[in-house]
Structure 1
Amino acid sequence: MTKPTPEEAIHLRDLFEDIVGAAWFNRNAMTERELLILILERHRDSGGDIEKLKDGCVATARERFSRLR
């Protein structure tokens, strides 16, 4: 995995914070860790498309970590 640029790291941090701050997110240490792994893996495969990354991560996080099931 390549290291994100400083600008990409800011986008990744913001995406993480947006998702964990969502009302539907079942926040605990395990789901936060799994979300971070998800974001980093998706970032590697996104080709730098931040909107595609965000859409994919939010959709997957809703499926996996939603407390509103």
Structure 2
Amino acid sequence: METIYLATLNDGFPVALLQDLLRNDGIESFLKNEIVSSVLPGFQREIYVMEEDYEKAKEILKQEFPELVGEE
């Protein structure tokens, strides 16, 4: 299975919140740049989900963080 990029967030709190919301819906998420962002403030964290969970995760993202979802 492949992972797909879902969102980029700057702050640790929204990252944790989004991951909790995804987890509550049974969606596993993965962070890229987690260690670097903890050492270098302002470094963005990317969230990825499994390909089969992408549409459901995108709906959660759209509901909770609409400013992060672009027009398609």
Give the TM bin, normalised by the shorter chain. Answer: 0.3 to 0.5
- In proportion to residue count, which structure has more strand? 2
- In proportion to residue count, which structure has more helix? 1
TM-score (norm 1): 0.44
TM-score (norm 2): 0.43
